[in-house]
């Protein structure tokens, strides 16, 4: 990866609002609107697309993010992240191991890892990752069949995580205050933005609520 696209340029500790989106017809304009509203990290996560269509859509998101100076992460596929010149990859517990993703993408790439339980979070301390996600706090359609972890897991992550952690699951302007009060400093948003008819307005409302909660900690 080129130096200009490394984690050194993108201080994840200062990246607070992380959009995770599937492909959609208005992908470029949607991502741009979310970034204008306050999103500062973007992931494309689409479990339906085959490799070549996913690569094409990843390049679309990458172009938008590059224009705004926002890091772009592709879900699950370090090989396609490399080909798309993404800034990194996010893997789950059953996806490619973080060590393999690191070997494929190199030392400068962003590598993220999902965790859903204390044992997974503790094990992540030994993985070559730059951040972890923690959750989902509440059950969510994006993780069918997975029970919510509750805010106790957020508190556990706040006490034990040695890297930035992003809380997932049901984040909205009305819930983000409780998530921050439990110890989070970074959140992932999906449906609040993907289901909005005005994503820039929705992103701005969430960003305002997030910043307000953070300012009181």
Give average pLDDT by consecutive 10-residue segment, the chain, 217 residues.
Answer: 45 96 98 98 97 98 98 98 98 97 96 97 97 89 68 96 95 97 98 98 98 95
Tell me the whole-structure pTM to 2 decimals.
0.92
CA dihedral for 35, 41, 47, 51, sign (positive or negative)? positive
- The CATH number of the domain holding residue 81 is 3.20.20.70
- Nearest to residue 149, comparing CAs of 159, 132, 161, 135? 135
Residues annotated as catalytic (active site), given as ranges: 45, 114, 143
Q: How many independent structural domains does the chain possess?
A: 1
- Nearest to residue 186, comparing CAs of 61, 31, 43? 43
Instruction: Please give the pLDDT value at position 173.
Output: 98
Given a contact cutoff of 8 angstroms between Cβ atoms, the answer to whether 108 and 5 are in contact is: yes
* Neighbour-count burial of 145, counting CB atoms closer than 10 A to its CB (0-12 exposed, 13-18 middle, 19+ buried): exposed
Phi-psi region of 94 (alpha: psi -120 to 50; beta: other; left: phi over 0): alpha
Which residue range(s) make up the domain with 164? Answer: 3-8+16-215
Instruction: Please give the pLDDT value at position 179.
Output: 97
Instruction: Please give the pLDDT value at position 2.
Output: 32
């Amino acid at each position: 990866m080129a130096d200009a696209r490394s984690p050194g340029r993108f201080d994840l500790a200062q990246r607070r609002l992380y959009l995770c989106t599937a492909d959609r017809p208005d992908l470029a304009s949607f991502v741009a609107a979310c970034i204008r509203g306050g999103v500062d990290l973007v992931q494309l996560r689409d479990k339906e697309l085959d490799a070549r269509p996913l690569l094409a859509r990843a390049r679309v998101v990458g172009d938008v993010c590059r224009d705004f100076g926002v890091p772009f992460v592709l879900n699950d596929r370090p090989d396609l992240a490399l080909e798309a010149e993404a800034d990194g990859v996010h893997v789950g517990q059953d996806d490619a191991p973080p060590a393999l993703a690191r070997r494929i993408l190199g030392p400068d790439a962003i590598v993220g890892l999902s965790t859903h339980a204390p044992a997974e979070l503790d094990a992540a301390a030994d993985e070559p990752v730059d951040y972890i996600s923690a959750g989902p706090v509440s059950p969510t359609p994006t993780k069918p069949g997975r029970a919510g972890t509750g805010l106790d897991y957020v508190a556990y992550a706040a006490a034990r995580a040695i890297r930035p952690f992003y809380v997932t699951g049901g984040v909205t302007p009305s819930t983000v205050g409780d998530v921050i009060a439990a110890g989070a400093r970074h959140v992932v948003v999906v449906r609040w933005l993907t289901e909005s008819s005005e994503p820039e307005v929705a992103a701005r409302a969430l960003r305002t609520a997030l910043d307000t909660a953070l300012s009181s900690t």
